[in-house]
Amino acid sequence: MPQTLMPQPCVDQRAIEIIGQHRLAQQTCLQRRGATDARGHIGRGHGMDRLLAALRPSGLYRQHIGRTPRMRAAAENLVPVTLELDGKCPVVVNEGFDIATAAERTLTVKTFNAGQICLSPDYVMLPEGAVDGFVEAAKGFMARAFPKVQDNNDYTSIIAPRHFDRLLDLIADAQAKGATIVPLNPAGEPVHDVATRKIAPVLILNATEDMRVMQEEIFGPLLPVVAMNVDQAIARINAHDRPLAAYLFSDSEAVQAQFGASVTSGALVLNDIMSHASIESLPFGGVGASGIGAYHGVHGFRRFSHFRPTVRQSAEGLSGQRLRAPYADKQAALENLLGPRN
């Protein structure tokens, strides 16, 4: 009988190096290249300068060219694609959940890198009566975590002047359309400073669908807050592109189960924000508009590998003889095995 050998992964060595560096830049534009043409996976994201600089000489880095052109280029070259995209990651707070805990855990990640993370909470939906409590808890969190913003190395600048201006435009657009703007800047400090490119966190209350801040991925320290119940929140999420992650704060297992069954997202985190990204045993990736495929730990190795089956035939080659003519005796034996026809 033939001997079945263990599947052997055929992996681009450079891809292994990229996976190894994934903690440096989880979202980096990557394209593996073979000897003559593209043979690998394409990833997308915002990236970090150190890794991008290392990739440029090797031909692995490509400028962001948009989803459609990238998918078209991949299809034309028969390149398997892994895309980690973006989206608006929603936070839903259920009735009865401790609002201070929800606010602190949401602001912990929203202020991390000044919200410039693909998994950063993009907007919050919570019960009508919890809005004031959320605002007060957010102010308390900022007073404890960031007594200073502008002259504080723990608080990150916006990556570029263009994005700094874009975020200010989002605030102005929301205010012009009726939102209540609640800046969380420390007393005596400006909300934003063009010299430092730092913008203190800003809550945007009464955000509506016609505001740009509810239409675009924010990627910054702005946080719209909308009053609605869980059922309304589920309907709102499902009416839009599928998010990279969805966050639910609820003590009710029934509500947790309902939310998980009703919402499609790249990941689901209960009673926390972004904690799944640090668990190497879990795959990381989006679904629909937020991505294709997943990586992380062994999932990344498998995603960037081809497990090639390998078989060594025996000297007698008996298994192959079943396919050799003449077939009459073989057909009779097969029919005998299957039994009489009805």
Catalytic residue ranges: 84, 118
Neighbours of 126 (CB within 10 A): 27
8 A C-beta contact, residue 277 and residue 300: no
| Structure tokens belonging to residue 3 | 């001997």
Instruction: Give residue 251's Cα distance to chain centre.
Output: 25
Nearest to 268 by CA among 234, 311, 240: 234
**Residue 229, class by beta-carbon neighbours within 10 Å (0-12 exposed, 13-18 middle, 19+ buried)?**
middle
Q: Enumerate residues 6+ apart whose C-beta is below 8 A from 129.
A: none
Q: Which residue is listed with tokens 């929203």?
A: 110
| Structure tokens belonging to residue 236 | 């709102």
Q: What is the DSSP letter of 240?
A: S
**Residue 308, class by beta-carbon neighbours within 10 Å (0-12 exposed, 13-18 middle, 19+ buried)?**
exposed
